[in-house]
């Protein structure tokens, strides 16, 4: 469905077909056609298998297929990155090491094609920044090689947890998010949701095979980001001299949960010689009412000041950085002619914990890899 959506966005059918034909794989056919689901038109991308799929491939076998293929380095890197995400999720689900993961469905030709095709399309569309909206999942059970397993399936749960993808479980019976789909979304996502405000330039609709009560489609949009987002944030503040530390801590937790961009306390000395705290909440205009509710409900304050703020923000993107310790993330920011690379705290932390490396070294290692990756992409 993801590939269908990308084709619908404008990737040329012939281009994709030609790249896929050159892969060292056989026993399948590709079908690309316009279809409708519940009267919504989009593009269906289907891999039709002509032979029984090889049921046991591990990550090394799949990397080998990708390496053998006549694909650009970027496509190879993305395809491997997506497979690594699936492999890690499978390893966790089955309590085995990543090397021991033997793919069944996800190792079959259709998944290899799906993943490589998605990577080819992203390169062809020249997409750099990707935001992923809420993934709507069904419930109940699905049948696969493991037998009957609950929806969301374990591999999907592991991916959305690890990569912090937003999910909503709906009343729909059945599986709407597969491990392959979740892994593509996880790998591509490099923007937080709030960054995708802007003008819709193009819409692509991928058509699924399954029949649900709703239109089984996946929509991808090319959005021109709002460059000028000045003034779209607000600050709420309140001087509080009669709430406990525990109350203030809990309030902060609730404000963050509700989507505050930032929450902080500044120690102050206020009227009547009282040591107190100045609570500051940065949020979007649409969130003001929710934030005010939390502040009034949780703390003892009886008044809140609020004002819109102007900001200057640097252009930035989240880069997926491949390192010898696995996939990490780093923020790449641009100021005039300069580029700054700031590895994500969680990535640095994970490496420190897993490989007993000090924070500074792990940080520098991700930075070095990110810079190298950026230079390789320019060349």
Where on the chain is the footprint of Ni ion (CB under 5 A)?
90
Answer for the pair 66, 72: CB distance below 8 angstroms, yes or no: no
Which of ligand L2XS5X25, Ni ion, none binds 77 (CB below 5-8 Å, type-dependent)? none
Say whether residue 142 binds ligand L2XS5X25 (CB under 6 A).
yes
* 125's tokens: 């569309």
For residue 189, report the phi and psi dihedrals to the nearest 5 degrees.
-60, 120
* C-beta atoms surrounding 306 within 10 Å: 15
x/- track of binding to ligand L2XS5X25 for residues 173-192 (CB under 6 A): --x--xxx------------
x/- track of binding to ligand L2XS5X25 for residues 191-210 (CB under 6 A): --------------------
Of residues 325-354, those binding ligand L2XS5X25 (CB under 6 A)? none
Of 19, 27, 130, 28, the C-alpha closest to 75 is 19
Total residues contacting ligand L2XS5X25 (rule CB under 6 A)?
Answer: 18
Which of ligand L2XS5X25, Ni ion, none binds 287 (CB below 5-8 Å, type-dependent)? none
Report the residue from 32, 144, 167, 235 that binds ligand L2XS5X25 according to the rule CB under 6 A. 144
Q: In a 3-state reduction of DSSP, which class is residue 93?
A: helix
Residue 345's alpha-carbon distances to 47, 112, 226, 360, 362, in angstroms, are 39, 32, 27, 11, 10
Instruction: Establish whether the linkage from the previous residue to 152 is cis, with ω within 30° of 0.
Output: yes
Q: How many CA atoms lie within 13 A of 224 on its CB side?
A: 5
Which of Ni ion, ligand L2XS5X25, none binds 178 (CB below 5-8 Å, type-dependent)? ligand L2XS5X25
Q: Which is nearer to ligand L2XS5X25, 105 or 292 (CB)?
A: 105
Binding site for ligand L2XS5X25 (CB under 6 A): 90, 93, 103-106, 111, 142, 144-146, 153-155, 175, 178-180
């Amino acid at each position: 469905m993801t590939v269908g959506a990308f084709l619908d966005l404008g990737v040329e059918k012939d281009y994709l077909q030609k790249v896929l034909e050159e892969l060292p794989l056989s026993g399948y056919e590709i079908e690309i056609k316009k279809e409708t689901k519940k009267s919504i038109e989009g593009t269906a991308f289907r891999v039709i298998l002509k032979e029984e799929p090889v049921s046991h491939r591990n990550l090394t076998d799949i990397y080998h297929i990708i390496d053998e293929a006549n694909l650009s380095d970027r496509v190879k890197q993305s395809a491997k990155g997506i497979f690594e995400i699936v492999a890690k999720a499978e390893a966790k689900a089955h309590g085995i090491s990543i090397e021991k993961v033997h793919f069944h469905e996800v190792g079959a030709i259709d998944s290899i094609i799906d993943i490589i095709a998605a990577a080819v399309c992203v390169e062809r569309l020249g997409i750099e920044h990707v935001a992923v909206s809420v993934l709507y999942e069904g419930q109940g059970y699905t049948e696969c090689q493991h037998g009957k397993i609950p929806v969301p399936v374990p591999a999907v749960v592991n991916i959305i947890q690890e990569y912090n993808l937003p999910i909503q479980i709906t009343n729909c019976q059945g599986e709407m998010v597969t491990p392959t789909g979740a892994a593509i979304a996880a790998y591509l996502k490099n923007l937080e949701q709030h960054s995708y405000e802007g003008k819709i330039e193009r819409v692509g609709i991928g058509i699924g095979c399954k029949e649900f009560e709703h239109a089984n489609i996946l929509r991808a949009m090319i959005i021109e980001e709002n460059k000028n987002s000045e003034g779209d944030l607000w600050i709420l503040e309140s001087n509080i001299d009669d709430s406990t530390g525990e109350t203030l801590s809990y309030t902060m937790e609730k404000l963050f949960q509700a989507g505050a961009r930032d929450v902080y306390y500044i120690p102050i000395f206020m009227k009547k010689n009282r040591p107190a705290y100045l609570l500051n909440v940065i949020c979007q205009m649409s969130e003001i009412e929710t934030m005010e509710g939390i502040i009034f409900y949780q703390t003892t304050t009886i008044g809140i000041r609020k004002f819109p703020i102007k900001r200057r923000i640097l252009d930035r993107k989240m880069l997926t950085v491949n390192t010898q310790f696995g996939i990490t993330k780093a923020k790449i920011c641009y100021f005039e002619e300069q580029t700054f690379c700031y590895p994500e705290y969680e990535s640095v932390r994970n490496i420190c914990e897993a490989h007993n490396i000090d924070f500074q070294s792990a940080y520098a290692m991700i930075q070095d890899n990110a810079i190298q990756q950026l230079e390789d992409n320019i060349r």
